[in-house]
Every structure is written in C-alpha cells, then in structure tokens.
Amino acid sequence: MERNDVIDFKVLEKELQAALAADEKYKRENAAKLRAVEQRVASYEEFRGIILASHLKPLERKDKAGGKRSVPWNCHTTQGRTSQDVATEISQEKSPLEPQTSAEFYRDWRRHLRSGPERYQALLQLGGLKLGHLFQTDVGFGLLGELLVALADHVRPADRAAVLGILRSLAGTGRFPLNLSLLSQEERESCKRLFRKLQALGAPRPAEEQGLEAQTGELRVEDGALQELLALYQVD
C-alpha cells in the first residue's frame, strides 16, 4: 500500500471522539433546557445559568471539603488543556459541511466555521430543507440566535429566496417559539435587521436580467413568504 493510501486511525479516532462529545453535550443541554422550563425559571439569565452548568455533577460524600483531589471537579474552568480537550481535537483540513445529525452540525459550526462569511456560506450550502430536517426536534440552545446573526450580516440580493427558505424551515422546527423567546437583545436586533434587509431586497431587479413578468411573479411569491415570516418571528 502506498504511503498516501495509509489510513490515519488516530485522526479517525479523534473525529469520532469529537462527534461523541458534541452529541453528549447536545443531549445534556437539551435535558437541562427541559428541566428549566418545567421549573418555570423567572428570568433568561437563570435559564442560561442552568444550561451552562449542565455539565456539573453533584458532590458525593467522599468529596470532602479541603480533601485531596486528584481530578478537578469542574474541568471546564481549569486553566490549560484537559484530557477532554485533547480527546475532542479534530482535523483542521477543510471539507464540505455534510452533517447527518444536529449534533454533527453543532460540532462543525463551533469548530470549523469560525468566521461570519464561512457560516453564511455553510447555511446556503445546506439549504432550508436540510436544516429543517437536522433540527426537526429542536435547535440547540443559543444556536438560533447565531444563525440569525450570520444571515443578517451577510445576506445578499441574489440569496433572498434561499434565505427566506432557511427562515421558513427554522420556524418549523421543534420548540421554535421557546427558542425565539430566548434570543438575547442583540440577537433580536439582528433578526429585525435581517428582515429589514430582506424587505429592501424586494425591489425589482434590472429588466435585462430576466423577463419583467416572471420577475414580478417571483417577487410576489417571496413577498408573501416574507409577510408570513414577519409574523412567525414576531418582527414588527
């Protein structure tokens, strides 16, 4: 077997560990979200605190105050690298975004897609139908706001119909009203800004690009979808 054909099992193992860690994190935070809703928390900050602390485990009797600890009780606040950090490292090689589950999307969104343009292009690449399938049960905690920010910052005239399709699919995901109510003030402003841009992009394009009649028909359909989305996203 040639050198270039050798499978790097260490890289595959790291990617598997990363996928498992992302899936575990998603399930843990989703369970914490449901508990917070059942407890009827009084504020968004309290709700957010429950989610962020979902990785903590209660102390046992053997965990005495001042006693010797060989393992840090909260690895997420420990300085430097931890074994979990090492286990969840993934290859930095660029590859097409092809998540098969919401956990895989969350992993790639956090680890591979760092810049706004990269995130925007990834959303267009997946499209509304794929995103709706991935998040059929629920959009992960805090993710809806990040998706809206990426769209608001980079939407282009040629992408108007695609972005409307993405917004429509997200609005059909599980617990969408709850996730919408948990948007931060900054994310709400980005949502409003996105819809203002979409409204402005509805002006007819130069006639030479396509027939006027066809153009008018497309805009009418898009504007109808936009009006429906304005109500779903509670934008005045």
For residue 100, pLDDT over 60 is answered with: yes
CA gap 169, 167 in Å, rounded: 5
Query: What is the per-residue pLDDT across 184-222, written as a single tens digit (0 to 9) for each?
Result: 999 999 999 999 999 998 755 554 455 554 455 566 778
Least confident span in 59-63, 115-119, 143-147, 176-180: 59-63
Q: State the pLDDT at residue 94.
A: 46
Q: State the pLDDT at residue 127.
A: 94
Residue 79: which residues within 8 A CB-CB, separation 6 or more?
Answer: none
Percent of the chain with pLDDT over 70: 65
For residue 4, pLDDT over 90 is answered with: no
For residue 119, pLDDT over 80 is answered with: yes
CA gap 76, 72 in Å, rounded: 9
Q: 18 with 107: CB under 8 angstroms?
A: yes
For residue 133, pLDDT over 70 is answered with: yes
For residue 147, pLDDT over 90 is answered with: yes
Residue 69: which residues within 8 A CB-CB, separation 6 or more?
Answer: 63
Q: 162 with 127: CB under 8 angstroms?
A: yes
Closest CA to 164 of 123, 206, 110, 217: 123
Structure tokens at 129: 């139908």
Query: What is the per-residue pLDDT across 38-96, written as a single tens digit (0 to 9) for each?
Result: 767 666 666 666 666 666 665 555 555 555 554 444 544 445 544 444 333 433 344 55
pTM for this entry: 0.58
Amino acid occupying residue 193 = R
